[in-house]
A and B are shown apart, each in its own frame.
Chain A
Amino acid sequence: MHKMLAAGVAVMALAAPMIAAAQDDAPTGGSMIVTYNDDVSTLDPAIGYDWQNWSIIKSIFDGLMDYEPGTTVLVPDLAESYELSDDGLTYTFHLRDGITFHNGRPLTSADIKYSIERAVNPDTLSPGQGFFWMIEGFDAAAAGEADGLSGIETPDDRTVVIRLSTPNATFLHVMALNFSFAVPREVVEELGPDFGRNPVGTGAFKLTEWSLGQHLILDRNENYHIPGVPKLDRIVFEVGQDPSVALLRMENGEVDILGDPIPSARFVEVMENPDYEGRIIEGGQLHTGYLTMNVQMAPFDDVRVRRAVNMAINKDRIVRIVNGRAVPANQPLPPAMPGYAEDYEGYPYDPEAAKALLAEAGYPDGFDTQLYAMNTDPNPRIAQAIQQDLAAVGIRAELLTLAQSTVIDAGGQPNTAPMIWSGGMGWIADFPDPSNFYGPILGCGGAVQGGWNWAWYCNEELDAKAAEADAMTDPARGEERIALWRDIYLQIMEDAPWAPIFNEQRFTFRSERIGGEDSYFVDPVHIPVNYDHVHALDAGQ
């Protein structure tokens, strides 16, 4: 996994190869049923930001860039090719020919410009607005003072020129984010806020039916620009399906993909069932579950206390509580992320040493504090495990398990939440780049009222280093940049504002009739599966 990703970064070339037409001889046709517990919310790419609608949107829309299926390798998508100016500030994208929206209208460069500007326009209320900060003219546009982004120009129908205000190595990832996906202006303007219910894009599938609270049907886009894609003719998303029921239906062969994770209650049993051999695919996730300690609140303002907490927690036992569906973590970055320090050992589990550290910090008898956590399973259980471990070294943490919105609010208030278990609200990377784990959650920018830096950790020196790293847009300096990020995260661990607990693993359960590369089923950017590339084995029969 790690290796694959390193290769991907290297591929960031001026003339990237086209995504090859699917060369495998997987059959096309057929359909599959995917179940979800929650209703699917908006499919507007500028707005949708759930893990659930994230990949559905990816199948309906396209952006300038994309990733190779099953990998984190950036490749041009709507763009045929792009060039980067020497100062690292100007990107020129050349659109592929003959791409049309689902309504039949050909895609032009104006659509790209409109789509990005729409995401930045405050009227859109896009949660992705902030991702575009590096584009020239962002501030004026984001404040609603300018009509559009001065940094985007469309010299002709097939060329988009984007100027940045500062060189940024993550920019191409941003162009692969849903928020920058192309939408047809006339449809958006006609439907207004209802566009998310009736999405029209250029993607591999088009939405044909949406019965709120019951099901969605996606059908193949016959005019999709990549030949042989998608494989399936139809995907039916059945919503309101309780995961344990969905699992039983899966066992009855009524369902093809469990959209939600396998319920913990039955995880062990399912994994041990020989009948499902090969049908449950395990993969990594760009996720870290961590415990924040508010460095502005005593006693967590003492680094020794924070280190003691890091040493007090038995991560192996917590991993067991989640049925081994995670690997213990010792640093903010997940193993699949470039910059992960493989040789770093982290803080060992050592309650005695933790006690000694606490004593040294002036808390020989420990102290009382509070631990916030979200109230959905398994988070209260994990929090209780942490609570017990802390109690063993004398830290008596009162546990507050609350609704998501309340915990998030508490985290963003100064001097409110001494400790927060991030589960359920934790960081899943928006794109596979180490910088994505820093800004809002560990940088000074996030350590403000209403911010997401719940540790209130602010290290100016590291902020400067981060800026430096992100300015390294030259692909040749890729390795150097990654190394810089690695150092940043290791230095953070010295200050220990977090106690990283684990990195979640994904387990995708598929029916016997669905096939494809294993990597398609644990695709790092498409969750739960890469809808465009999995196929039905009984297609055409």
Chain B
Amino acid sequence: MRLILRSPTAVAGLIVIGATILVAVLAPWLAPYDYREQLFEGLTLEGAPLPPGGDFVFGTDTLGRDLLSRMMYGARTSLIVGVVSNGAAVLIGTLLGAIAGYVRGWLGTAIMRFTDLMMAFPALLLAIALAAIIGPSFWIVALVIALVNWVQVARVVYTETTALAEREYVEAARALGAHHLRIVGVHILPHLVPTMLVWATLGISTTVLLEATLSFLGIGVRPPEPSWGNIIFESQSYFTSAPWLVFIPGVAILLLALSFNLVGDALRDALDPTQRGRR
């Protein structure tokens, strides 16, 4: 932790993430309006959204809802999807990659060929089809994203595991009579943690955006529940006439993703005990 705090960029990232979490948790108390309410005074007489300023700090959306309140509640969705589904993707990817890399043989080959196949499969199509088949819900989004995003993690983990499995200390553990489970659990998985963390953080931006795309397709978050992604997509064509509707959530996603990336990067350095030893 101290090492993370040494990097000013990571500290900035932590602040942004912390603030986002805080806002998401406190949204019911912080939000100036009901995020669902399509306010009469939230639209001009011609039906145009209101720009930031005045009663509406971030302006209103095309239905006359307060954008600030929607952003605050949307932070919940985006955080949950980003963390949960991306976390699930990383876990699935790590599990499959580690199994394939450690066990090798026909099972490893089968897993990796399947990974190749998934790699070559257009993710969006898979997501749409799955959601259409299973039926839309928020958790479907998480599932779909996890199913789409694990692939790259699996490949990276596979490569790393094959290298790790050949390390001398793994051989030493085998010579001691260690069971495979112990070897994987004690000598391989902990070494994968930095990779997992990096992917868990790097993947967040893609995840948040994929959520947005899926919500837009009607697969994910049910309107009128907001997510940063669906706020953008609902109003993307307004970028010239109501740019705040695109840029405010866009910048929010960018900042959040950037923060996760920066923290992940610092975390990776910090988790390396060869760094930790230097006092």
Cα distance, A277 to B238, chains bound together (Å): 23
Closest 7 CB pairs of A and B: A401-B218, A265-B238, A268-B46, A320-B47, A375-B218, A402-B218, A323-B47
Q: Which chain A residues numbered 304 to 334 have a C-beta less than 8 Å away from chain B?
A: 317, 320-324
CB distance from B209 to the nearest CB of A (A): 17
Complex contact B237–A265 (CB within 8 A): yes
CB distance from B136 to the nearest CB of A (A): 6
User: Which one of A6-14, A64-72, A216-224, A377-385 contacts B?
Assistant: A377-385
A244-B240, A377-B234 known; A384+B224 contact, CB < 8 A: yes
Complex contact B218–A400 (CB within 8 A): yes
CB neighbours (8 Å) of A324 from chain B are 46-47
Tell me if B62 counts as interface (CB < 8 A to partner A): yes
Tell me if A87 counts as interface (CB < 8 A to partner B): no
Tell me if B186 counts as interface (CB < 8 A to partner A): no
A388-B36, A402-B136 known; A264+B237 contact, CB < 8 A: yes
Tell me if A451 counts as interface (CB < 8 A to partner B): no
Tell me if B27 counts as interface (CB < 8 A to partner A): no
Q: Select from chain A the residue with minimum beta-carbon distance to B49.
A: A265
A-B CB contact pairs (8 Å), 16 listed: A264-B62, A265-B241, A266-B240, A269-B241, A317-B38, A320-B46, A321-B47, A323-B46, A380-B234, A381-B62, A381-B63, A383-B223, A384-B224, A385-B63, A399-B222, A401-B218
List residues of B whose CB falls within 8 A of some A CB.
36-38, 40, 43-48, 62-63, 128, 132, 136, 216-218, 222-224, 234-235, 237-242
Additional 6 contacts, C-beta under 8 A, given A381-B62, A388-B36, A402-B136? A244-B240, A265-B238, A265-B240, A375-B216, A377-B234, A402-B218
CB distance from B128 to the nearest CB of A (A): 7
- B interface footprint on A90-105 (CB within 8 Å = 1, 0 otherwise): 0000000000000000
Complex contact A406–B237 (CB within 8 A): no
B40, B43, B218, B242: residue with the most chain A Cβ atoms closer than 10 Å: B218
Q: Select from chain B the residue with minimum beta-carbon distance to A374.
A: B218
CB neighbours (8 Å) of B239 from chain A are 265
Complex contact B237–A403 (CB within 8 A): no
CB neighbours (8 Å) of A323 from chain B are 46-48
Interface residues on A, range: 20 to 34
Cα distance, A269 to B240, chains bound together (Å): 11
Q: Select from chain B the residue with minimum beta-carbon distance to A399.
A: B223
CB neighbours (8 Å) of B63 from chain A are 321, 381, 384-385
Complex contact A265–B217 (CB within 8 A): no
Complex contact B223–A320 (CB within 8 A): no
CB distance from B124 to the nearest CB of A (A): 12
Tell me if A387 counts as interface (CB < 8 A to partner B): yes
Cα distance, A398 to B48, chains bound together (Å): 26
Q: Tell me the dominant secondary structure on chain B's binding face.
A: loop
Complex contact B242–A265 (CB within 8 A): yes
Tell me if A263 counts as interface (CB < 8 A to partner B): yes
- B interface footprint on A244-268 (CB within 8 Å = 1, 0 otherwise): 1000000000000000000111101
A244-B237, A265-B241 known; A385+B38 contact, CB < 8 A: yes
Cα distance, A112 to B241, chains bound together (Å): 51
CB neighbours (8 Å) of B128 from chain A are 403
A377-B237, A400-B222 known; A320+B38 contact, CB < 8 A: no
Cα distance, A19 to B40, chains bound together (Å): 51
Complex contact A387–B223 (CB within 8 A): yes
Complex contact B223–A321 (CB within 8 A): no
Cα distance, A315 to B162, chains bound together (Å): 64
A265-B238, A375-B218, A400-B218 known; A321+B62 contact, CB < 8 A: yes
CB distance from B242 to the nearest CB of A (A): 7
From B44, B136, B235, A268 is in contact (CB under 8 Å) with B44
Cα distance, A508 to B180, chains bound together (Å): 72
Q: Select from chain B the residue with minimum beta-carbon distance to A265.
A: B238
Cα distance, A322 to B62, chains bound together (Å): 9
B47, B48, B224: residue with the most chain A Cβ atoms closer than 10 Å: B47
CB neighbours (8 Å) of B223 from chain A are 380, 383-384, 387, 399, 401
A266-B241, A269-B241 known; A403+B234 contact, CB < 8 A: no
CB neighbours (8 Å) of A265 from chain B are 235, 237-242
- B interface footprint on A400-417 (CB within 8 Å = 1, 0 otherwise): 111100100000000000
Complex contact A398–B38 (CB within 8 A): no
Cα distance, A271 to B218, chains bound together (Å): 31
A265-B242, A384-B63, A385-B63 known; A403+B46 contact, CB < 8 A: no
Cα distance, A401 to B218, chains bound together (Å): 4
CB distance from B265 to the nearest CB of A (A): 37
From A266, A320, A377, A403, B218 is in contact (CB under 8 Å) with A403
Cα distance, A210 to B101, chains bound together (Å): 53
Complex contact B217–A320 (CB within 8 A): no
Complex contact A322–B222 (CB within 8 A): no
Cα distance, A323 to B45, chains bound together (Å): 9
CB neighbours (8 Å) of A378 from chain B are 62
CB neighbours (8 Å) of B217 from chain A are 375, 402-403
Complex contact B48–A268 (CB within 8 A): yes
A265, A324, A385, A399: residue with the most chain B Cβ atoms closer than 10 Å: A265
